[in-house]
Amino acid sequence: MELSLSNLPNQQNRVLSGMRPTGALHLGHYHGVLKNWVKLQHEYECYFFVADWHALTTHYDDVAVLGDSVWDMVIDWLAVGVNPGSACLFLQSQVPEHAELHLLLSMITPLGWLERVPTYKDQQEKLKEKDLATYGFLGYPLLQSADILVYKAGMVPVGEDQVAHVEMTREVARRFNYIYGREIGYEDKALAAIKKMGKKNAKLYTGLRKKFQEKGDEEAIATARALLDSQQNITLSDKERLYGYLEGGGRVILPEPEVLLTRAAKMPGLDGQKMSKSYHNTIALRETPAEVAKKLKTMPTDPARVRRNDPGDPAKCPVWQFHLVYSDDETKNWVVEGCKTAGIGCVDCKAPVIDAILEELKPIQERAREYEEDKAMVRNIIHEGNEKARDVARQTLIEVRSAMGLEY
């Protein structure tokens, strides 16, 4: 990846996402997040990172969650097929530019924006045993904004619960560009930059800008942005000016990211609730086949089926949720029919699910073993990712410092 390409404004093709290090991952992570990452890495320029600072905002007194957890999580990423050749994998705390940008953004972030993010109160309620009335926890979403903006990421794949954080990131970026993109003589500089594109492109740009400003034509602005992207003759600063000039704001130094909502089917846990470590209902990706089979064999079914002859209702059974994820129509029909008529027993019903999960986990576990046996390789992958990420992050900070007058 060339630096020049990676630092174009409005990097719509760049994807960034982070995950807090929670140790070994489970099927919920796989179906809910990682399968999507594996797909995205072939379609976009992806940055995936371990959000260890984010973990500290809630686990500051329990730093044992770091260390091994970080490496276990990375091993699981690699094991499911997140490919360091396609995506940049790195560790947040090894790219200190995240922290610097967080600090600089904190200067312009109104307290109210942070206080009204829903996760702030929700998590305080949920994690009552922890004192989360800290400065760091309040700043959680802003740190996330810095994570995203430091790479000028165009897309952020997250679940529903993180949408508010990306929304806030957009507001922070807008405010930043508004305050620091309005340099002295902005309009004159923009007009001069237009001229530099050459007569034909200048005319095209001006026409598209007019179409957008007068009629709100979204296609016109998209075309204009593509036109800017293709310009070889103008500087990065001029590009930023012209991006901003399209919308009538200042220079776009930090582009606003879009949410890429991951609408994964919710992976059920062993008890029918969402699979989550805090509910103790998970199947870990590296659980042994014997453990997996045991967990499924002992998982609850429709309570109405006390005896083999009692008919049941799949709608009331957590095993059915697994069939929805793993079984084809034929198997599903077999379950519904067999359950309602007591034609099959719960042990029979669980068998195809056990088989499907074991088959899914087999290649993952084989790959995980290779990485477990070569931790140096895992460290190397992350080390290289850190370097690559830093190159991009450093460049953004040069621009941010300059825009904020920190240029001596």
Q: Which residues bind ligand TRP (CB under 6 A)?
A: 16-20, 51, 54, 144, 147-148, 156, 158, 162
**Binding partner selected for residue 344 from ligand SF4, ligand TRP, none, CB under the kind-specific 5 to 8 Å limit:** ligand SF4
- Sequence-ordered list of residues with C-beta below 8 angstroms from that of 230, at least 6 positions apart, any chain: none
Q: Shortest Cβ distance from residue 20 to ligand TRP (Å)?
A: 5
**Binding partner selected for residue 158 from ligand TRP, ligand SF4, none, CB under the kind-specific 5 to 8 Å limit:** ligand TRP
Between 80 and 234, CB nearer to ligand TRP: 80
Between 186 and 279, CB nearer to ligand TRP: 279
For residues 322 and 192, give the distance between their C-alpha atoms in angstroms, rounded to a whole number. Answer: 61
Q: Shortest Cβ distance from residue 208 to ligand SF4 (Å)?
A: 58
Q: Shortest Cβ distance from residue 158 to ligand TRP (Å)?
A: 5
For residues 101 and 147, give the distance between their C-alpha atoms in angstroms, rounded to a whole number. Answer: 8
- Core vs surface per residue 265-280: b (16+ CB within 10 A) or e: ebbbbbebeebebeee
Residues in contact with ligand SF4 by CB under 6 A are 301-302, 305, 312, 314, 317, 319-320, 335, 339, 344, 346, 349-350
Q: Shortest Cβ distance from residue 39 to ligand SF4 (Å)?
A: 30
Q: Shortest Cβ distance from residue 269 to ligand SF4 (Å)?
A: 15
CA 177 vs. chain centroid, Å, equals 23
Between 146 and 400, CB nearer to ligand TRP: 146
Contacts 24+ apart (CB under 8 A), 288-297: 289/358, 289/361, 292/354, 292/357, 292/358, 292/361, 293/354, 293/358, 295/270, 296/270, 296/322, 296/350, 296/353, 296/354, 296/357, 297/347, 297/350, 297/354
Between 20 and 239, CB nearer to ligand TRP: 20
Q: Shortest Cβ distance from residue 379 to ligand TRP (Å)?
A: 22
**Binding partner selected for residue 302 from ligand TRP, ligand SF4, none, CB under the kind-specific 5 to 8 Å limit:** ligand SF4
Q: Shortest Cβ distance from residue 305 to ligand SF4 (Å)?
A: 5
The length of the chain in residues reads 408
Q: Give the nearest residue (CB) to ligand TRP.
A: 18
**Binding partner selected for residue 301 from ligand TRP, ligand SF4, none, CB under the kind-specific 5 to 8 Å limit:** ligand SF4
Between 47 and 322, CB nearer to ligand TRP: 47
Between 127 and 204, CB nearer to ligand TRP: 127
- Sequence-ordered list of residues with C-beta below 8 angstroms from that of 209, at least 6 positions apart, any chain: 220, 224, 245, 246
